[in-house]
Homo-oligomer: A and B are copies of this chain.
Amino acid sequence: MTYEECVQECLRCMEQCNRCFDDCLKEDDVKMMADCIRLDRECADMCAFAAKAMQSNSPFVKEICALCAKICRACGDECAKHEHHQHCKDCADACYRCAEACEQMAK
Protein backbone atom coordinates (compact mmCIF):
# COMPACT_ATOMS: atom_id res chain seq x y z
CA MET A 1 0.00 0.00 0.00
CA THR A 2 1.52 3.30 -1.06
CA TYR A 3 0.42 6.74 0.13
CA GLU A 4 -0.81 7.43 -3.37
CA GLU A 5 -3.06 4.35 -3.46
CA CYS A 6 -4.49 5.14 -0.05
CA VAL A 7 -5.13 8.76 -1.04
CA GLN A 8 -7.03 7.51 -4.09
CA GLU A 9 -9.21 5.24 -1.93
CA CYS A 10 -9.91 8.13 0.43
CA LEU A 11 -10.91 10.38 -2.46
CA ARG A 12 -13.17 7.70 -3.94
CA CYS A 13 -14.78 7.09 -0.59
CA MET A 14 -15.27 10.82 -0.02
CA GLU A 15 -17.01 11.03 -3.40
CA GLN A 16 -19.33 8.08 -2.76
CA CYS A 17 -20.20 9.37 0.72
CA ASN A 18 -21.02 12.83 -0.58
CA ARG A 19 -23.16 11.38 -3.36
CA CYS A 20 -24.90 9.02 -0.94
CA PHE A 21 -25.56 11.96 1.43
CA ASP A 22 -27.28 13.80 -1.42
CA ASP A 23 -29.21 10.76 -2.65
CA CYS A 24 -30.36 9.76 0.84
CA LEU A 25 -31.81 13.24 1.34
CA LYS A 26 -33.89 12.72 -1.82
CA GLU A 27 -35.28 9.30 -0.82
CA ASP A 28 -38.90 8.87 0.23
CA ASP A 29 -37.87 7.11 3.41
CA VAL A 30 -35.47 9.78 4.67
CA LYS A 31 -36.17 8.78 8.26
CA MET A 32 -34.77 5.30 7.62
CA MET A 33 -31.66 6.91 6.15
CA ALA A 34 -30.93 9.25 9.08
CA ASP A 35 -27.93 7.30 10.39
CA CYS A 36 -26.65 6.89 6.86
CA ILE A 37 -26.86 10.66 6.25
CA ARG A 38 -25.02 11.36 9.50
CA LEU A 39 -22.25 8.84 8.79
CA ASP A 40 -21.93 9.87 5.13
CA ARG A 41 -21.11 13.41 6.25
CA GLU A 42 -18.64 12.32 8.88
CA CYS A 43 -16.96 9.75 6.65
CA ALA A 44 -16.66 12.13 3.68
CA ASP A 45 -15.06 14.76 5.89
CA MET A 46 -12.75 12.26 7.60
CA CYS A 47 -11.58 10.95 4.21
CA ALA A 48 -10.84 14.50 3.05
CA PHE A 49 -8.87 15.06 6.25
CA ALA A 50 -6.91 11.83 5.77
CA ALA A 51 -6.15 12.64 2.12
CA LYS A 52 -4.85 16.06 3.13
CA ALA A 53 -2.70 14.52 5.87
CA MET A 54 -1.10 12.05 3.46
CA GLN A 55 -0.63 14.63 0.70
CA SER A 56 0.99 17.13 3.05
CA ASN A 57 3.18 14.55 4.78
CA SER A 58 1.65 14.92 8.24
CA PRO A 59 3.52 13.39 11.20
CA PHE A 60 0.16 11.90 12.25
CA VAL A 61 -0.63 9.91 9.12
CA LYS A 62 -0.83 6.57 10.94
CA GLU A 63 -3.14 7.81 13.69
CA ILE A 64 -5.34 9.69 11.23
CA CYS A 65 -5.62 6.67 8.93
CA ALA A 66 -6.46 4.43 11.90
CA LEU A 67 -9.37 6.70 12.81
CA CYS A 68 -10.42 7.02 9.18
CA ALA A 69 -10.56 3.22 8.90
CA LYS A 70 -12.92 3.00 11.90
CA ILE A 71 -15.27 5.64 10.57
CA CYS A 72 -15.23 4.12 7.05
CA ARG A 73 -16.09 0.72 8.48
CA ALA A 74 -19.01 2.13 10.50
CA CYS A 75 -20.29 4.03 7.47
CA GLY A 76 -19.91 0.92 5.29
CA ASP A 77 -21.84 -1.17 7.82
CA GLU A 78 -24.69 1.34 7.89
CA CYS A 79 -24.83 1.68 4.11
CA ALA A 80 -24.75 -2.11 3.72
CA LYS A 81 -28.13 -2.24 5.50
CA HIS A 82 -29.67 -0.30 2.61
CA GLU A 83 -28.14 -2.08 -0.37
CA HIS A 84 -31.44 -1.97 -2.23
CA HIS A 85 -30.47 1.66 -2.82
CA GLN A 86 -27.68 1.57 -5.43
CA HIS A 87 -26.03 4.66 -3.91
CA CYS A 88 -25.78 2.90 -0.54
CA LYS A 89 -24.34 -0.23 -2.15
CA ASP A 90 -21.73 1.82 -4.04
CA CYS A 91 -20.94 3.74 -0.88
CA ALA A 92 -20.55 0.60 1.23
CA ASP A 93 -18.12 -0.82 -1.34
CA ALA A 94 -16.01 2.35 -1.36
CA CYS A 95 -16.07 2.55 2.45
CA TYR A 96 -14.82 -1.01 2.91
CA ARG A 97 -12.06 -0.57 0.32
CA CYS A 98 -10.98 2.65 1.99
CA ALA A 99 -11.10 1.06 5.44
CA GLU A 100 -8.75 -1.69 4.28
CA ALA A 101 -6.37 0.76 2.65
CA CYS A 102 -6.29 2.95 5.77
CA GLU A 103 -5.77 -0.06 8.02
CA GLN A 104 -2.71 -1.01 5.94
CA MET A 105 -1.42 2.53 6.15
CA ALA A 106 -1.95 2.65 9.92
CA LYS A 107 0.28 -0.36 10.58
- Residues on B with C-beta less than 8 A from A70 are 60, 63
Chain copies in complex: 4
Q: With A7-B15, A30-B34, A41-B41 in contact, do A60 and B71 touch (Cβ < 8 Å)?
A: yes
- Residues on B with C-beta less than 8 A from A41 are 21, 41, 56
Would you call A34 and B26 a contact (CB within 8 A)? Answer: yes
- Residues on B with C-beta less than 8 A from A25 are 34, 37-38
- Residues on B with C-beta less than 8 A from A11 are 11
Question: With A and B bound together, what is the CA distance between A30 and B58 in angstroms?
Answer: 18
- Residues on B with C-beta less than 8 A from A86 are none
In the assembled complex, A45 has its CB within 8 A of some CB on chain B: yes
Would you call A42 and B53 a contact (CB within 8 A)? Answer: yes
